[in-house]
Amino acid sequence: MTNKADSGLPKPVEHVSQCVAKTIEHLNQWVAKAKPVEHLEECVAKQVEHLNQCVVEALYEALACGDTGTVMGFLVPELEWRFHGPPRCQHMMRVLTGESDHTDFRFLPKGITAVGSWVIVEGWEGEHAYWVHVWMLEEGVITQFREYFNTWIVVRELNPPVPAWETRGRRRGPTVWQSGQQEWPSRSLPGLVLAL
């Protein structure tokens, strides 16, 4: 069953289409203002992050509707996948491979954050299920997926874009995202650092 928008497109695809239109409008406004060229790279990077986030948001919309055709359209055929957690909790991979139905485990994102070509999504299902999904996109298509279940995640930039003389004494890149532990402050879960 495909959930259609007024345009005739599936709603998740319509969502991405609207994001692309807004991105083009924003870039056209940027060009019209004749801003310096050195700011173009930053502007384009922000727009790519926004588009990547829109693709992942649309993926979750399609999952909620059971629209597997649209979901598969967002993924490369040979998706690189990694999992951390109890083997019985590989819920997203089971849905993506067709082993389970989209209703067996509900993925309701509580937060979605784009960091470069990565999009990080976290959610909670009751008291005993906390999950983090990390999606990597290339040219608007998902090429890698990392699923973490009941694990706190800290994402750090591996090679921050700063001059070498400014990193003296710094052993790691800055934290760009971390799990929303404030939802379960008394909960003890294993933690991982993900370097991008």
Tell me how far apart the alpha carbons of residues 76 and 53 are, in angstroms, rounded to a whole number: 17
Q: Which of 86, 43, 81 is nearest to 190 (CA)?
A: 86
The one-digit pLDDT tens for each residue of the chain (196 residues) are 445 555 555 566 676 777 777 777 766 776 677 666 666 677 778 888 989 999 999 999 999 888 888 899 999 999 999 999 888 889 898 888 888 887 788 888 999 999 889 999 999 877 778 899 999 999 889 999 999 998 777 777 776 555 555 555 555 567 777 777 656 556 666 566 666 6
Q: Which of 177, 48, 24 is nearest to 112 (CA)?
A: 177
The reported pLDDT for the residue numbered 31 is 65
Tell me how far apart the alpha carbons of residues 79 and 16 are, in angstroms, rounded to a whole number: 20
The reported pLDDT for the residue numbered 128 is 75
Tell me how far apart the alpha carbons of residues 68 and 73 are, in angstroms, rounded to a whole number: 9
Measured in degrees and rounded to the nearest 5, phi and psi for residue 41 equal -60, -45
Percent of the chain as helix, strand, coil, to the nearest 5 = 35, 30, 35
The reported pLDDT for the residue numbered 182 is 57
Fold (CATH) for 11-195: Nuclear Transport Factor 2; Chain: A, (3.10.450)
The reported pLDDT for the residue numbered 1 is 43
Residue spans per domain, the chain = 11-195
Distance (Å) of CA 145 to CA 76, 81, 121, 134, 140:
11, 5, 11, 6, 14
